[in-house]
Amino acid sequence: MELAAPVGEVDEGAKRADWTAEETTALIKYLHVHRSERADAGNFRQVTYVNAAEHIRPLHRTGKIKDYKNVSIKWGSIKQIYNAIMTYRRGSGEHWDNENGANICGAADAEKWGKFVAIKRNTIMRPFRNRGWEYLHFMEDIFPQG
C-alpha cells in the first residue's frame, strides 16, 4: 500500500505534531467509525492508530507528519477533555448542556466557575464556560454510558 504524499510542507526538524482543527475532527470521526476496535481503558490498538494516522495524512499542512504515537497522544488528550466534561456533568448541582457548556451567567456563577477552573486538574474545562464541545456526541458513542 503506497502512502499519499503530504499536502503541506514537511519540516524535517519538527519534533512536535501540531494539530489543526481539521485534523482533530478527522481523527475523532475516524475513531468514531472504528469505535468497535476500542480496547482497554478506552484506548485503541496500535493498528487502529496507524490507520488513523494514514487517514489524516492528506490533511497535513506544516510541521511533523503524525504517526501512530502522535495519534495515541492526541487521543489521550481528547479523552481527558471528555472525562473532565463527564465529571463536571455528574457534579452535584452543576449545569451542563452541549450548547452552552457550564452556562455561567451572573457574578456568583462567574466567581464559583473561576475558583473551579483555577484548580490545576480543572483548567481543561476553561473553554467550556459558555459553549459546548463539538465532539461530545461522538465521544458519547465511543464511550456509551450505562
pLDDT of residue 106: 93
What's residue 33's pLDDT? 97
What's the confidence (pLDDT) of residue 63?
A: 79
pLDDT per 10-residue tile (average), the chain, 146 residues: 49 77 97 93 94 97 91 96 91 85 93 92 93 96 80
pLDDT of residue 10: 57
> Nearest 5°: phi and psi at 4?
-70, 145
Buried b (16+ CB within 10 A) or exposed e, 28-60: bebbeebbeeeeeeeebeeebbbbbbbbbbebb
Q: Tell me, what's the pLDDT at 92?
A: 67
pLDDT reported for residue 4: 47
What is the model's pLDDT at position 3? 46
Q: What is the pTM of this model?
A: 0.85
